[in-house]
Amino acid sequence: MVKDQANIIEVEGLSKAFGKLTAVNHVSFAVRRGELFGFLGPNGAGKTTTVRMLTGVLEPSGGTATIQGHDIRSESLLSRAHLAVVPEEANVYLDLSPWQNIMLMAELHSMPRKQRIHNALELLDSLGLADRKHQKARTLSKGFRQRLMLCAALVTEPEILFLDEPTSGLDVQSARLIRRIVQEMNLKGLTVFLTTHNMEEAEKMCSRLAIINNGQISAIDTPRRLHSAMRSQQFVEVRFLGEPLPTLELQSLPGVSSLDSTGSTIRLYTETPGRTAAEIACLAKSKTLEIEHLCTRKPSLEAVFLYFTDQNKKEPAQ
Ligand code: ATP
């Protein structure tokens, strides 16, 4: 039974073990109707496994989940009735043309002929496949196969679309087009569950993001709030020629939250790295110190995931 009508997907303590490996470990979250929900995590975090469980490909080892209020295990058919999936690897029928692939998908969903032709023509056109609609899918590039996967998923007019790393390894043009179409469909009311390890993609597209690392959710929030948490992980690195190092002065520069050093390299954590770099230059001038190295750095994706995982350990999610 769905607890909140605003939620189209509800997941409670969902787990999946492969032998000794727990790929998804007691994961809980909810996706609201009409939202573009991002599921962000590094390689091997458990994203695909979660999608596979939610879409009925894999049997969970524990926990529950509902889609449109239907339990994914006891009401598997109903829970899958209005969803479509674009898996990580395009799995189109290579000996069929885009047109045949799309028609086949629509027929499997018993879509009336007139409607399926109308939808297919519109989608092929908007995804730049109209000219290629009768050539074998085998001859399409990876980008065009992925566009075809999206057409085949959308032709059935799903209410929820699961996209597993839809732009991974694609040419820029295909990636951009896929993002745009997904956003447009979302504005028309489609709920989207997007897995990605591309932080920028997630930030730009999603209204909310869940960060998953090592099979566990470490943060769920809006991109804006997650981003501002991440800002505290930016730093400026500096190395001076000669001694003594002005450690105390650096520590007390405006905006510097903490400092650490490895050998003669000093790292200053700050939310405003550009400003801090300028302050360091002023300090060096006033103390006639020569700067050997100065650069601003953003945290790596790995550092961001670890940061949220560590935060989560300190302050368990409510
Ligand atoms: P990626 O971004 O690389 O696709 P992911 O976040 O989607 O990663 P999953 O594919 O869900 O990660 O994998 C999570 C963990 O479960 C990994 O350690 C993976 O090797 C393991 N795993 C996934 N599927 C299986 C399987 N069928 N049998 C055994 N282990 C598996």
pLDDT in tens, 252-274: 999 999 999 888 899 999 988 99
Short-list 1, 3, 48, CA closest to 29: 3
Q: Which residue has the higher pLDDT, 310 or 209?
A: 209
In DSSP terms, 240 is beta-bridged to 291
CA distance 38 to 302: 17
What's the Cα-to-Cα distance from 298 to each of 127, 238, 295, rounded to whole Å? 34, 15, 10
Q: Mean pLDDT across the stretch 232-238?
A: 88
pLDDT at 317 (0 to 100)? 40
Q: What is the mean pLDDT of residues 100-118?
A: 95
Residue range 110-115: mean pLDDT, rounded: 94
Position 290: which residue type? E
Give the pair of three-digit tokens for residue 84. Answer: 């479509």
Cα separation, 13 vs 28, in Å, equals 5
Residue 125 has pLDDT above 90, yes or no: yes
Name every protein residue with a CB atom under 6 angstroms from any ligand 1 atom.
Answer: 18, 21, 23, 41, 43-49, 88, 197
The confidence score (pLDDT) of residue 246 equals 87
Cα–ligand 1 centroid distance for 44 (angstroms): 5
Distance 211 CA to ligand 1 centre (A): 16
Average pLDDT over the chain reads 90
pLDDT range class, residue 35, cuts 50, 70, 90: very high
pLDDT: is 169 or 103 the higher one? 103
9 vs 229: which has the higher pLDDT: 9
Tell me how far apart the alpha carbons of residues 170 and 265 are, in angstroms, rounded to a whole number.
38
pLDDT digits (tens, 9 = 90+) for 148-200: 999 999 999 999 999 999 998 899 999 999 999 999 999 999 999 999 988 88
pLDDT of residue 318: 37
> In this structure, which residue's CA is closest to atom 19 in ligand 1?
44
The pLDDT tens digits for 305-315 are 777 776 665 54
Residue 223 clears pLDDT 90, i.e. is over it:
no
Residues 88-117: what's their mean pLDDT? 93
What is the pLDDT averaged over residues 82-100?
Answer: 92
Q: How far apart are the C-alpha atoms of 17 and 21, rounded to whole Å?
A: 5
Other beta carbons less than 10 A from residue 250's beta carbon? 21
pLDDT score, position 300: 65
- Atom 16 in ligand 1: residue holding the nearest Cα: 23
- Top-confidence residue, 232 or 223: 223
CA gap 61, 63 in Å, rounded: 7
- Nearest Cα residue to atom 18 of ligand 1: 44
Whether the CB-CB separation of 39 and 194 falls below 8 Å is answered with yes
The runs of H, that is alpha helices, within the chain are 47-54, 76-80, 98-108, 113-126, 142-154, 172-187, 199-205, 223-231, 247-251, 273-286, 301-314
Task: Round to whole Å and give the CA distance between 33 and 9.
Answer: 8
**47 Cα to the center of ligand 1, angstroms:** 8
Q: What is the pLDDT of residues 281-300, one digit of tens each?
A: 999 999 899 999 999 987 76
Between CA 163 and CA 144 the distance in angstroms is 16
Burial label for 195, CB within 10 Å (0-12, 13-18, 19+), is buried
Walk me through the domains of the chain, giving residue ranges and CATH numbers. Answer: 1-82+159-227+300-318 (3.40.50.300), 90-157 (no CATH), 231-298 (3.30.70.100)
Contact 270, 259 (CB under 8 A): no
- Can you give the pLDDT at residue 313? 57
Residue nearest to atom 24 of ligand 1 (CA): 49
What is the distance in A from the centroid of ligand 1 to the CA of 48? 7
Distances (CA, A) of 296 to 227, 237, 240, 293, 310: 17, 6, 15, 10, 23
Residues 117-124: what's their mean pLDDT?
A: 97
In the predicted model, is pLDDT for residue 3 greater than 60? Answer: no
> What predicted TM-score, i.e. pTM, was given to this entire model?
0.81
